């Protein structure tokens, strides 16, 4: 029996969805603990591709319980669409297979409008899903929670209490069209009624399941370098993406976590604005984007691509005490003569080995690189570690050694079966 937390180690889109789907086989419950529908987690099973934004990536498996924890911010309209799209495809999304924390906060239309309007002046390149403004209201104690959404009286009172202020902010400060209060209340009451059967005290459910010996799998969104405290602030998301948040965002205690699996793409990508030291704005960057299909699962934006960055990875490993790595998208590197890896940064003549808090303030940042030989072969059909090309194995060993963490999983393609398991985590 084991409880495993999965987190991204870079700037998101490392392949968390694929690995969660894969490990759900050995788990009983799969739980999202932060973020919202800014996430886009891709699962490829057979010929079918499913992109999930809110519902945990375990939902394609039968007889598992998928849970959205209190740390997630929920857009009810998107969630209802996701539930109905999954049901249409024949998946079970009933209150027996899916539960939502009564304490999770709701993303309201004004949050999305504020997010869009602000991003034109404070360019973060957000996903525009209202994530930041929803977390702001949560911290400010003016948020609407799922428990309010499913209670008509409470919902009406909560919206009444905040509406005028939001309307004023939208129309006077942001100079966008305002909202109709009655329409807003009616629409949210209706969505609350539809979601009510799923809304529960999920902290109780998780703790009881764990006591009975069930395996819990926690699914992080985004990545360590987008964390609100430890990421490349202010170019971050508005939640904590580190493994510790798996406790806060679900209502379990830290002694219940056994293993933290860090998902590490074999190169680096980033979407939106913000520092990206190893970014390649040349034909190699374009090649990684084309071969890796590096276009956002949520917004469709082209992802910025670059070499592996050990400074950013070491930082993630430290802040989440990562026990094992899953190295993904190694197949995308096939055909490169050499592969570069940044081992340190350079600024004003000094070497920087730990991620600086003010990375944005180093426009002159230089890089220290190691260069490794590449491999020609297509590796997507390989299922045994020993059969990988020697240079591919050397690249994996190099990453493990430099980071001081072993790989438990190597992913060589987007499909469930395109995987080499090196260590059983349960």
Q: Applying CB under 6 A, does 238 fall inside the site for ligand IMO?
A: yes
Judge whether 389 and 400 are in contact, CB under 8 Å.
no
Can residue 15 be called a binding residue for ligand IMO (CB under 6 A)? Answer: no
Q: List the alpha helices (DSSP H) in 343-408.
A: 390-403
User: 9 to 28, contacts with Mg ion by CB under 5 A?
Assistant: 13
Q: Which stretch binds ligand GDP (CB under 6 A): 119-127, 134-142, 192-200, 289-297?
A: 289-297
- CA–CA distance, 254 with 237 (Å, rounded to integer): 23
Q: Give all strands (DSSP E) within 184-290, no chain letters.
A: 199-200, 216-219, 259-265, 268-270
Which window, 66-74, 78-86, 229-237, 325-333, contacts ligand GDP (CB under 6 A)? 325-333
Q: Which does 309 bind (CB under 5 to 8 A by kind): Mg ion, ligand IMO, ligand GDP, none?
A: none
Q: Is 47 noted as a catalytic residue in this protein? A: no
- Kindly state the DSSP code that residue 107 receives in the 8-state scheme: P
Rounded distance, CA 61 to CA 75, Å?
24
Report whether 413 contacts 331 (CB < 8 A): yes
Q: Which of 132, 143, 192, 413 binds ligand IMO (CB under 6 A)?
A: 132
d(CA 138, CA 45): 36
**Segment contacting ligand GDP by CB under 6 A, of 129-137, 173-181, 230-238, 406-414:** 406-414
Residue of 70, 297, 323, 391 interacting with ligand GDP (CB under 6 A): 297
Q: Which listed residue (112, 129, 265, 329) binds ligand IMO by CB under 6 A? A: 129
Question: How far apart are alpha carbons 384 and 126 in whole angstroms?
Answer: 40
Give the Cα separation of 220 and 19 in Å (integer). Answer: 11
* CA–CA gap between residue 312 and residue 334 (Å, rounded): 23
Figure out which of the listed residues 34, 37, 222, 259 binds ligand IMO, where binding follows CB under 6 A. Answer: 222
Under the criterion CB under 6 A, does residue 125 sit at the interface with ligand IMO?
yes
Whether residue 234 is preceded by a cis peptide bond, meaning omega within 30 degrees of 0, is: yes
Q: Residue 158: name its binding partner from ligand IMO, Mg ion, ligand GDP, none (Cβ under 5 to 8 Å by kind).
A: none
Binding of ligand GDP by 293 (CB under 6 A): yes
Is 309 annotated in the active site? no
- Interface with ligand GDP (CB under 6 A): 8, 12-18, 40-42, 44, 292-293, 297, 328-329, 331-332, 411-414
């Amino acid at each position: 029996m084991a409880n495993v937390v999965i987190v991204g180690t870079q700037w998101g889109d490392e392949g968390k969805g694929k690995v969660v789907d894969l490990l759900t086989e050995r788990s009983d419950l799969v739980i999202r603990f932060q973020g919202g529908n800014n996430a886009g987690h891709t699962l490829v099973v057979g010929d079918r591709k499913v992109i999930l934004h809110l519902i945990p990536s375990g939902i394609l498996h039968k007889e598992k319980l998928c849970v959205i924890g209190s740390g997630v911010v929920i857009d009810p309209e998107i969630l209802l669409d996701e539930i109905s799209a999954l049901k249409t495809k024949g998946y079970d999304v009933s209150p027996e297979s899916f539960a939502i924390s009564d304490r999770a906060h709701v993303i309201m239309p004004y949050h999305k409008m504020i997010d869009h309007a602000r991003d034109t002046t404070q360019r973060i390149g957000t996903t525009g899903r209202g994530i930041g403004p929803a977390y702001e209201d949560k911290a400010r104690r003016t948020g609407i929670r799922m428990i309010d959404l499913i209670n008509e009286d409470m919902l009406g009172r909560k919206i009444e209490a905040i509406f005028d202020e939001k309307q004023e902010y939208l129309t006077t400060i942001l100079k966008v069209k305002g909202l109709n209060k009655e329409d807003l209340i009616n629409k949210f009451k209706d969505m609350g009624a539809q979601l009510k059967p799923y809304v529960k005290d999920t902290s109780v459910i998780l703790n009881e399941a764990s006591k009975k010996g069930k395996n819990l799998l926690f699914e992080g969104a985004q990545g360590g370098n987008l964390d609100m405290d430890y990421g490349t602030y202010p170019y971050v998301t508005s939640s904590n993406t580190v493994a510790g948040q798996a406790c806060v965002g679900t209502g379990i205690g830290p002694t219940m976590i056994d293993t933290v699996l860090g998902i590490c793409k074999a190169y680096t990508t980033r979407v939106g604005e913000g520092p990206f030291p190893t970014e390649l704005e040349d034909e190699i960057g374009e090649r990684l984007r084309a071969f890796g299909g590096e276009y956002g699962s949520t917004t469709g934006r082209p992802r910025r691509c670059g070499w592996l960055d050990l400074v950013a990875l070491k930082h993630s490993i430290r802040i989440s005490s990562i026990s094992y790595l899953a190295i993904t998208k190694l197949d995308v590197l096939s055909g490169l003569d050499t592969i570069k890896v940044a081992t340190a940064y350079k600024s004003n003549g000094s070497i920087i080995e730990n991620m600086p808090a003010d990375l944005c303030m180093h426009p002159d940042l230089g890089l220290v690189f190691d260069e490794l030989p590449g491999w020609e072969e297509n590796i997507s059909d390989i299922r045994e570690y020993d059969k990988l090309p020697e240079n591919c194995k050397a690249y994996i060993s190099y990453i493990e050694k430099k980071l001081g963490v072993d790989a438990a999983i190597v992913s060589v393609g987007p499909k469930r079966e395109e995987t080499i398991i090196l260590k059983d985590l349960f």
